Amino acid sequence: MSETIRVGTRGSVLALRQTEIVVTALRRRFPGSEFRAVPIVTQGDRTKRRSRDLDFTDAIDRALEAGEVDIAVHSTKDLPVRPMRQVRVAAFLPRGDPRDCLVLREASGLRDLPPGARIGSSSPRRRAQLLRARNDLAVVEIRGNVDTRLSQVRSGAVDGAILAAAGLSRIGRWAEVTEFLDRRAFLPAPGQGALAVETRASDRALASQVAALDHSPTRAAVGAERAFVEGVGGNCDTPLGALARLSRGELVLRAELLSPEGRRSVRGERRGAAASAAAVGRALARDLLAAGGAEILARRPRG
């Protein structure tokens, strides 16, 4: 690397911080290179409405395809399972904390919330998991960046909110966490906590350099999780969770599918070689669909 590398990113505080993490790692390996963040507004940033068409990567990847930026930084959980043909993920950085956490205004934890407490989340997965644990709570939709969501808790607009632990850690707001949610009961979104760095598929030289950052255990884990999502035909409206890890050289993937209100769920586990991560994810998808997941998905609301 020698010329200035333009880095496509969303413009939120968290996105810019994540870009800084990637750029710092690149500078360590390529100290003579210059980098410039290029904030880009995505479809997901422009709308307050959640739908399966919502996309936080589209505009950035189009800019990458068009040569307006040279690399792109994304939260892996935002990446579509079928990316644009002309871009590729050159590196996954070592994964941060994949857990969800609660930020509460007054209560000391999930068990202490009074019936009817209003918990903010725009995620169908988090809604279903929360109602499964406490069906006497009210889950209300809130959108916006991390600061916006935290401000809604502080102002009393909601009694609490569910957020990704990794995001709070990266922007120095770790102290605001009230409770970390048990990942066994609250399986996170596929890819949660991991950062992905994309390049153009045609730019092999740059892709090769960025690949120096790739963390193979994270690539295997998120590869299995994303293959599971694709295998069940999931999208951002599908209440599902998945988390993979390497244990003594073996890839262990756990996943679940839930009904929108959390009344029904199916979950399972598959193990296999890290080199066969995608096959592990597809196999678990077949398992859960056959175990009742297909029926759960067939009954989900459309539109």
**Separation of alpha carbons 180 and 195, rounded Å:** 21
Active site residue 100: no
**Separation of alpha carbons 275 and 292, rounded Å:** 29
274 within 8 A of 216, measured Cβ to Cβ: yes
- Give the start-end residues of each E strand in the chain: 4-9, 34-39, 71-75, 87-92, 100-104, 118-120, 138-140, 160-164, 179-180, 195-200, 240-247, 250-258, 265-273
268 within 8 A of 284, measured Cβ to Cβ: yes
- Cross-strand pairs, 266: 257
DSSP secondary structure, 47-90, as one string: -S---TT--SSHHHHHHHHTTS-SEEEEEGGGS-SS--TTEEEE
From the list 78, 100, 203, 237, the catalytic residue is: 78
- Residue 244, helix vs strand vs coil: strand
The H or E element that residue 222 is part of is: helix 216-232
237: closest CA among 85, 105, 91, 127? 127
**Separation of alpha carbons 7 and 90, rounded Å:** 14
| 250, amino acid identity | E
60 within 8 A of 75, measured Cβ to Cβ: no
Provide the annotated active-site residues.
78
